[in-house]
Amino acid sequence: MKRFTSLAAAAVLAAAFAGSAVANEAFRGPLGVLANEPGVTEGYVLLTPQRSKTSYLIDNNGKIVNKWESEYKGFWGELKADGTLSRHGILPEIDSTGLWLFGGAAGIMEEFDWNGNKIWEYKMYIPGKEVSHHTYEIMPNGNYLLLGWEFKSYEEALAKGMKPTKDRYLFKEGYTDEKRHIDGIWPDFVREVDRATGKTVWEWHVWDHIGKGKNKIDINKFCSAKVYSAYAGPDWTHFNGVAYNPDTDQIAVTSRNLAEVFVIDRKTGDIVYRWGNPANYGAGKAPAGYADDGDQKLWGPHAPDWLPNGNLSIIDNGARRPSHNYTRAVELDPKTNAVVWQWTPMAVKANPSNFYSHYQDGAQKLPNGNWMLTTSNDGHVIEVTSDKNIVWELANPVREDRIYKATNIHGKGGDSIHKALRYPADFPGFQGKKMKNEGKFPNWTSVLSKDAVPMPGSEAPKAAPVKTYKRVVPAAE
């Protein structure tokens, strides 16, 4: 049963049982693989359901061919070229801090071999000072590029030119929401970590590039509190994706709250390109209200990737876009600022809301020209061809290592996947590896049972000896 081709039935059921559900993304329908059509890429899909301790590799029919289990809940993961799983885990102590309010805080990188043995970890969390978050990039030399938030005091923000206004949710006494409190402002930074030693070899900080103009970031430009008050306060820039281009030695980052993609020259540290919201630096018209997008192009961008042709792929949440809420994938030519390809739900004559998530999301352009797209809010994954037809579709059923029955809570982040990744059958990391049979994703016996139950084998493994690297803080800091 395809989700995109069963909208009429879904609408009837949603009206009957959900009441408030008004779109396909707000309705929980069938779970697991929903479509597997001619034109799909032969290979496997890596899924790391958020806040689950297990990552899954499945084939196109939904059979689990491998899985990896951590002692930590996960945010996102990807496979290295040798088949090792790299994974961004969530330290449990972070959940009780104000950093939880931002969404995406993690704190620990891990690697697991094909057989599930943990072989490496790197912790990036200093309470009250810094934490790693969201995604990462594995560089050609094996080093990791990590995103981080760092603490700056309210007084430091004032000294940088921050102007307190009625719309700015940044207060001397700190910010409190959902019974959690956080002080100061937490701008982003990017850190390169040497995989072999765990030492920091390069950093770039938003705080060092505050100012006016196209190559600076204006501390008085911020996301509306109507989206989320923390975005107008301590979680100001909210980077969420990072990508490295070895041909140009440039780094792309996406800012959810500033609605832009930035390109940073790694040698000079300069911002050499930005796209998405020119009003931030006085070069375009800001949105003016209902149906008027102004010159803004992005509305919550995520998941930047450099393509072999030098273009950038980006997923655009589309959250609070005046003309309509819908999520789209774009291929951007930074030399011309032209969108040379895009996919929207309207491309398959679907309602714009039928592929929409107001946070996170992922896009991956495959070597054959197909695209893997993820709306994170509800764990909806599709593969589309270059001519925009859907050839594979999955609805994630897993949250915190439990499978849930069909309910009306779909679309509320219950089954989030940050970004599913497709690996072709000839991926080097699969060579010489045994593809297992760990059952179906999902396990329908569990789905149809009265209560949600843990996935089989989801218990945390016993701790194994592992070499740990913690950041060495120089005495001068």
Q: Examine the pLDDT at 430 and tell me if it is beyond 80.
A: yes
* Beta strand spans in 307-361 (E): 312-316, 328-333, 338-343
Residue 449 has a pLDDT of 52
State mean pLDDT over 269-276. Answer: 99
Q: Examine the pLDDT at 412 and tell me if it is beyond 90.
A: no
Q: Examine the pLDDT at 428 and tell me if it is beyond 60.
A: yes
State mean pLDDT over 225-238. Answer: 91
Residue 473 has a pLDDT of 35
Could you identify the residue written with the tokens 């540290």?
269
Task: Among 29-33, 152-156, 303-307, name the one with the lowest average pLDDT.
Answer: 29-33
Q: Examine the pLDDT at 424 and tell me if it is beyond 50.
A: yes
Report how far residue 165's alpha carbon sits from residue 31's, in angstroms, rounded to the nearest whole number.
Answer: 46
Coil, helix or strand for 156? helix
Residue 461 has a pLDDT of 43
* 312-314-319 Cα angle (round to 5): 155
Report how far residue 305's alpha carbon sits from residue 313's, in angstroms, rounded to the nearest whole number.
Answer: 5
Q: Say if CB 312 and CB 304 are below 8 A apart.
A: yes
The pLDDT > 70 percentage for the chain reads 84
- Record: fold of 7-470: Methylamine Dehydrogenase; Chain H (2.130.10)
pLDDT tens profile 434-471: 999 998 987 655 445 534 444 444 444 444 444 433 33
Q: How many residues does the chain have?
A: 477
State both tokens at 58. 């499945």
Q: Examine the pLDDT at 55 and tell me if it is beyond 80.
A: yes
Residue 107 has a pLDDT of 98
pLDDT, the chain, mean: 86
Q: Examine the pLDDT at 143 and tell me if it is beyond 70.
A: yes
Domain positions in the chain are 7-470
Residue 80 has a pLDDT of 98
The pLDDT > 90 percentage for the chain reads 69
Q: Considering only CA atoms, which of 210, 302, 288, 295 is closest in space to residue 257?
A: 302
pLDDT tens profile 338-375: 999 999 988 888 877 777 877 788 999 999 999 999 98
Residue 463 has a pLDDT of 44
C-alpha to C-alpha distances, 59 to 99, 178, 217, 276, 425, nearest whole angstrom:
36, 40, 43, 36, 10
Q: What kind and span of H or E run contains 390? A: strand 390-395
